[in-house]
Amino acid sequence: MNNSTVLLLFPITVAVIMLGLGLTLTVADFRRVVKYPRAMVVCLVCQMVVLPAICLGLVVAFGLRPELAIGMMLLAASPGGSTASLYSHLFKGDVALNISLTAVNSVLAMFTLPLIVNLSVAGFIGADSSIGLQVDKVLQVFMMVLIPIAVGMVVRAKFSAFAIRMERPVKILSVVVLIMMIASVIAGLGSEVFAILGEIIVVVVLFNLIGMAIGYFGPRLLKVGPRESTASAFEIGLHNGPLAIGIAMSPSLLNNTVMAMPPVTYGFVMFFTALVFGLVVARRTSAPNTEREVTTSGT
DSSP letters, 36-80, are SHHHHHHHHHIIIIIHHHHHHHHHHHTT--HHHHHHHHHHHHS-B
Average pLDDT estimate for 244-272: 83
Does residue 211 surpass a pLDDT of 70? yes
Beta carbons of 190 and 37 less than 8 angstroms apart: no
Residue 208 lies in a domain: yes
Beta carbons of 11 and 270 less than 8 angstroms apart: no
Task: Give Cα 132 to chain centroid, integer Å.
Answer: 20
Does residue 20 surpass a pLDDT of 80? no
Average pLDDT estimate for 47-70: 93
Number of separate domains in the chain: 1
Residue 221 lies in a domain: yes
Confidence of residue 25 (pLDDT cuts 50, 70, 90): confident
pLDDT at 118: 83
The 10 Å Cβ neighbour count of residue 135 is 9
**Domain span holding position 43:** 3-284
Residue 293 lies in a domain: no
Residue 294 lies in a domain: no
Beta carbons of 231 and 97 less than 8 angstroms apart: yes
CATH number for the domain spanning 275: value is: 1.20.1530.20
Average pLDDT estimate for 51-66: 94
Residue 101 lies in a domain: yes
Confidence of residue 62 (pLDDT cuts 50, 70, 90): very high
Average pLDDT estimate for 115-121: 85
Confidence of residue 292 (pLDDT cuts 50, 70, 90): very low
Sign of torsion over alpha carbons 74, 40, 53, 108: positive
- Give the model confidence (pLDDT) of 102-115 as tens digits: 778 877 877 788 88
User: What values do phi and psi take at 239, rounded to 5?
Assistant: -90, 165
Confidence of residue 9 (pLDDT cuts 50, 70, 90): low
Does residue 17 surpass a pLDDT of 90? no
Give me the percent of the chain exceeding a pLDDT of 90.
Answer: 16
* Length of the chain measured in residues: 299
Average pLDDT estimate for 132-151: 66
Separation of alpha carbons 178 and 196, rounded Å? 20
- CA geometry: angle at 102 spanning 170 and 163, to 5°? 30
User: What values do phi and psi take at 80, rounded to 5?
Assistant: -70, 165
Question: Which DSSP letter does residue 293 get?
Answer: P
Confidence of residue 262 (pLDDT cuts 50, 70, 90): very high
Residue 244 lies in a domain: yes
Residue type, 155: V
Residue 292 lies in a domain: no
pLDDT at 53: 94
Residue 77 lies in a domain: yes
Least confident of 57-61, 131-135, 176-180, 212-216: 131-135
Helix (H, G, I), strand (E, B) or coil at 249: helix
Instruction: Please list, in sequence order, all residues whose beta carbon lies within 8 angstroms of the beta carbon of residue 144, skipping any fewer than 6 positions away.
Output: 11, 14, 15, 18, 246
